[in-house]
Homo-oligomer: A and B are copies of this chain.
Amino acid sequence: MAADAPAAVDAPARAIQRSTRQLALVLAAVQDSGPTHPTADAIWTTVRRVLPRISRGTVYRNLQRLAADGRIAIAHVGGRTVRWDPTLAPHDHFVCERCGRVDDLGSELPAASVAAAERSGHRVRAHATVLYGRCASCRTIA
């Protein structure tokens, strides 16, 4: 997804893992989230409609695990709140600075910057490009 700092981009296929109702529901919540790029809290709210006693901690732990397993992707989109993305293929993001909406874009490899980084001796594992601005619905407002 060309988006994340630590976290995994490829699926290291974790060790044994118990299949719990909580894990399944967290995964489903991300996969069914459409283009909303939900926050952990949004996912918690969604899952709680089915499993009212699930804790925030469990949601966070399961999101981390799913990302480590390469089953969902992390989207660091600026700001302090991490967003979660069901789309595993690399892609860029557009963020509306007014309403917070996050849109998926295609993936564009920053070839020149990657080359520059490698020229400095660095090994590049992933890249993330985020565009900031006003979305179609917000561009006329304020």
Interface 1/0s, chain A 95-134, versus B by CB < 8 A?
1110000010110101111101100111111111111111
The count of identical subunits is: 2
Q: How large is the interface on A (under 10, 10 to 19, 20 to 34, 35 or more residues)?
A: 35 or more
A42 within 8 A of B: no
Within 8 A of B (CB), among A33-49: none
Query: Are B131 and A130 neighbours in the complex by a CB distance under 8 Å?
Result: no
**Whole-angstrom distance from the CB of A138 to the nearest CB of chain B?**
9
Q: Does A65 contact B (CB under 8 A)?
A: no
Give min CB distance, A33 to chain B, whole Å: 19
Complex CA distance for A108 and B113, rounded to whole angstroms: 7
In the assembled complex, the Cα of A64 lies from the Cα of B114 at a distance in Å of 30
